[in-house]
A and B are shown apart, each in its own frame.
Chain A
Amino acid sequence: MDREEAKRILESYRLGGKDSHDPIFADALHELERDPELQAWFEEKERFDALMVEKLAHAVTAPPYLKYEILDRQPKARNIFSVRWLQPILAAAAAVVIGVGVWQHFAAPRNPARNLALQAISYTNEMPSLQFVCFDASAVATWANRQPAVRKAALEIAKPGTDMDMKLIGSSVVDWNGKPVLMLCLQNGKQMAMVYLVRGDDFQIKPNAHEMIEKDGWVSKVSYSGDKAWVLTTKGTPADLNFEVPF
């Protein structure tokens, strides 16, 4: 390698020895070690490069607003309704959806008791929290009956019996679709169950309603008494709901 070729290659050699391990520079660096004139040239080149880097570092600055303009111009999701060929398909789909909705509202058989039973299973499966826990059933009933939402909706319960198999051990007041629900937790040594007490008219439950459903190993039974709907829910079969509610 002659001196001029070494110069040509070393012009790409970066400051600070960043390229010292790049084999493309190996021969030129070797030449540098044994050629004093090339060394002098290289030192001058390094000084010039350092000067250029330093001077140019602050010579060009992007305008301050540019960053915000870039961020403001982030791509938006394409509006599917603006795609012309999709418009008739979307219109047809919308008509079907509206038609099904209207049919469901006016013609399809409705079963609020079943929906309530399903909601009870789903809710119990999500491990609801108990706001009050006490192994004195009377204390639980007293706590429940003092809750403003319970009193407002007239969901109070009677004083629990003491000689029942299932004991009242905890309670919560919850909200389902904007309607108050009194949740009562019952247990004996082997079994645990939830009772959800709601106002019948809040969930369109008719006075003669009676519904029992099983789903995913759960069983839930809706019954109606004195303007209130009772929903008993437990893990197991319908036979597991054959207990007397202690209040």
Chain B
Amino acid sequence: MTSAATLLSTRSLAFPLERSNKLALPISTQTMPDDFEKFVEEHYQAAFRFALSLSRNHDDACDLTQQAFFIAQTNQRQLRDRSKGKQWLFTILRREFLRTKRHEAVRQRYDVELEGDDSLLISVDHAANIDAKSLLTALQGLDDHFRLPVSLFYFDQLSYKEIADILEVPIGTVMSRLARGKTMLRHRLESTRVADTEKIVKISERGGRQSG
């Protein structure tokens, strides 16, 4: 097919068919549905892990993750720097967790585990034999103040600055909590290892007596 205007230009006819503004379709920059799906795809695993660190309960973590993404999409305009999307999502997660737990008494219990005695810390070689479930149990057993920075450090390898932003505490506090939290974790893993070893010894002793 030939446009009348094309015909005009090729034949130099005096029929100035002007290009209509109606044809200049506005180009939409609103591509949030696709972006959001990508955003969910990229971050839902990490968000769930952090939610689990916060709530220490599988179902609560699922609910918390869903709610955080819901809030994130509703308030997407607040996110100026898209490279900080994950950090922003984690902050929402934490705030939402605190909001839902507001009615509960704030626990101020600090683990009073021994520090400074390196013999009570698990060695790397022994830690290599600890299974992931025991490791998670030890991590989840830490108090909130230490569990959250340690989880963010190991699960997401976030920097102390990023952790400070998410948890909304000073960077010095994060560094101290990371140091203490990691020490507590190694204490707990060592206790688990020793307890498991004692169980094995007892079972083998019992087995030995029965067979003898």
Q: Which of A's residues lie within 8 Å of B, judged by CB?
A: 7-9, 11-12, 14-15, 18-19, 22, 24, 44, 47-49, 51-53, 55-56, 58-63, 66-67, 69-71, 73-75, 124-131, 133, 169-170, 172, 185, 187, 189-194, 234-235
Q: What total count of A-B pairs have CB within 8 Å?
A: 157
A66-B155 contact given A127-B4, A130-B1, CB 8 Å threshold: no
Cross-chain contact A130 with B3 (CB below 8 angstroms): yes
| Closest Cβ–Cβ distance, residue A113 to chain B (whole Å) | 23
Nearest 9 pairs between A and B by C-beta?
Answer: A192-B15, A62-B48, A11-B179, A59-B132, A129-B1, A12-B160, A47-B124, A8-B179, A127-B5
> Taking chain B's interface residues, is the majority helix, strand, or loop, or is none over half, making it mixed?
helix
| Closest Cβ–Cβ distance, residue B71 to chain A (whole Å) | 9
Closest to B174 in A: A12
Partner of B3, one of A8, A56, A129, A191: A129
Cross-chain contact A73 with B70 (CB below 8 angstroms): yes
Q: Does B166 contact A (CB under 8 A)?
A: no
CA distance A113 to B18 in the complex (A): 24
Partner of A187, one of B15, B40, B41, B52: B15
Cross-chain contact A127 with B3 (CB below 8 angstroms): yes
Q: Does B45 contact A (CB under 8 A)?
A: yes
Partner of A194, one of B4, B185, B186: B4
Partner of A70, one of B20, B65, B179, B185: B65
> Taking chain A's interface residues, is the majority helix, strand, or loop, or is none over half, making it mixed?
mixed
CA distance A24 to B49 in the complex (A): 28
Cross-chain contact A18 with B65 (CB below 8 angstroms): no
Q: Does B108 contact A (CB under 8 A)?
A: no
Q: Which residues of chain A have C-beta atoms less than 8 A from B153's C-beta?
A: 12, 14
In the complex, which range does the number of interface residues on chain B fall in? Answer: 35 or more
Q: Which residues of chain A have C-beta atoms less than 8 A from B44's C-beta?
A: 62, 66-67, 70
Q: Which residues of chain B have C-beta atoms less than 8 A from A194's C-beta?
A: 4
Q: Which residues of chain B have C-beta atoms less than 8 A from A52's C-beta?
A: 127, 135, 154, 185
Q: Which residues of chain B have C-beta atoms less than 8 A from A129's C-beta?
A: 1-4
Partner of A125, one of B18, B36, B70, B74: B18
Cross-chain contact B130 with A55 (CB below 8 angstroms): yes
Q: Which residues of chain B have C-beta atoms less than 8 A from A14's C-beta?
A: 153, 157, 159
Q: Which residues of chain A have C-beta atoms less than 8 A from B179's C-beta?
A: 7-8, 11-12
Since A61-B45, A129-B1, A130-B3 are in contact, a sample of 12 more A-B pairs with Cβ atoms closer than 8 Å, ordered by chain A residue number, is A11-B178, A12-B160, A51-B128, A52-B185, A55-B135, A60-B52, A67-B40, A126-B22, A127-B3, A130-B1, A192-B8, A235-B16
